[in-house]
């Protein structure tokens, strides 16, 4: 056995003999994930210890948002093809990712107001308000606002791609088209509306969803789709609430670094839930 014992373990390294250690010609874990790029992208503008926390929380949040958009856009395409079942896995994944984002606020609350004030001035006019991925998530969930695109005009390609997303149907829009495709009556003004406008509740939509909920055996796929949408709508509201309460805990009612009213603005956003008929129908069931 030479220097091998314990089922093929190398005594000098403590590794199993089949474990690869030479990556001169093969791709390693770090290579595949481009870890050198990712882990060298945290550049503090101050010497304060807690700025690293602030940067990493926001960077990882943007990575999770990228995955949310990946899943939401795929779900929209799936529902548009009237292939509802594949979208359920995607939407379930979105809800799980949202839970990760919600929990991240709990980590950020370890940043005290006194510590944050030591480096807040270094942020300049940069603000989470400018997160284009968060804006795209809102668009995909049906809350459109063309005025918010003004902050991206300095980046022409990004502005153009966001304008394109603004004019595309949201996941709720394609879900309502699916209701119609299943023979449920939906007002034409809903089915042929301007996708760039925020969705406005409609009685025919509420009645259609009520039909689904009262006949779950007949419309099981639509029923499951509805509940998946409720899940992600609720999670997004929880994320918003935790965002607001974390900001309030750390900076109180100071203005945001990007010029917004801060907590006051975030509280107003909470008054605009997603998928309104899926909430209102519960009172009528």
Read off the tokens for 227: 């509940």
> Which residue carries 């606002």 as its tokens?
145
251 is in an annotated binding site: no
* 276 touches 190 (CB < 8 A): no
CB 217 within 8 A of CB 224: no
56 is annotated as contributing to ligand binding: yes
> Is 23 marked as binding a ligand?
no
Positive or negative torsion for Cα 111, 116, 119, 120:
positive
**Has 211 been labeled as part of a binding site?**
no
Q: Which residues, in sequence order, are CB contacts of 30 under 8 Å at separation 6+?
A: 36
Does 34 appear as a known binding residue? no
- How far is the C-alpha of 244 from the C-alpha of 110, rounded, in Å? 15
Closest CA to 115 of 251, 243, 244: 251
Q: Is 159 annotated as a binding residue?
A: no
H or E stretch at 9: strand 9-10
User: Judging by beta carbons within 10 Å of its beta carbon (0-12, 13-18, 19+), is residue 278 exposed, middle or buried?
Assistant: buried
Is residue 167 marked as binding? no
152 marked as binding residue: no
- Burial class, 80, CB count within 10 angstroms (exposed 0-12 / middle 13-18 / buried 19+): middle
First vs last C-alpha separation in the chain: 73
| Residue spans of alpha helices (H) in 47-184 | 51-80, 84-108, 113-116, 132-140, 156-166, 171-181
Is 116 annotated in a binding site? The answer is yes
Question: Residues comprising the binding site?
Answer: 54-58, 116, 120, 243, 257
Question: Residues comprising the binding site for heme?
Answer: 243
Question: Residues comprising the binding site for substrate?
Answer: 54-58, 116, 120, 257
């Amino acid at each position: 056995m030479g220097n091998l014992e314990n089922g093929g373990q190398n005594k000098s390294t403590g590794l199993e003999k089949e474990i690869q250690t030479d990556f001169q010609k093969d791709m390693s874990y770090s290579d595949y994930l481009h870890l050198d790029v990712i882990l060298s992208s945290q550049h503090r503008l101050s010497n304060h210890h807690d700025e690293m926390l602030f940067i990493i929380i926001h960077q990882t949040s943007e990575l999770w948002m990228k995955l949310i958009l990946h899943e939401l856009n795929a779900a929209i395409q799936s529902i548009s093809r009237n292939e509802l079942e594949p979208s359920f896995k995607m939407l379930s994944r979105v809800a799980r990712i949202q839970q990760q984002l919600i929990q991240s606020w709990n980590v950020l609350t370890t940043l005290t107001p006194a510590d944050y004030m030591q480096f807040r001035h270094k942020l300049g006019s940069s603000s989470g308000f400018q997160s284009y991925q968060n804006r795209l998530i809102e668009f995909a969930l049906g809350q459109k606002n063309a005025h918010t695109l003004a902050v991206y005009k300095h980046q022409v390609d990004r502005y153009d791609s966001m304008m394109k997303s603004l004019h595309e149907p949201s996941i709720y829009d394609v879900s309502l088209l699916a209701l119609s495709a299943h023979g449920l009556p939906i007002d034409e003004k809903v089915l042929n509306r301007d996708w760039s406008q925020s969705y406005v509740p409609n009685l025919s939509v509420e009645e259609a969803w009520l039909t689904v909920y009262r006949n779950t055996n007949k419309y099981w796929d639509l029923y499951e789709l509805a509940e998946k949408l409720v899940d992600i709508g609720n999670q997004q509201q929880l994320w918003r609430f935790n965002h607001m309460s974390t900001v309030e805990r750390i900076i109180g009612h100071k203005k945001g670094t990007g010029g917004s009213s801060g907590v006051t603005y975030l509280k107003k956003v909470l008054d605009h839930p997603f998928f309104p008929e899926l909430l209102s129908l519960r009172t009528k069931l």
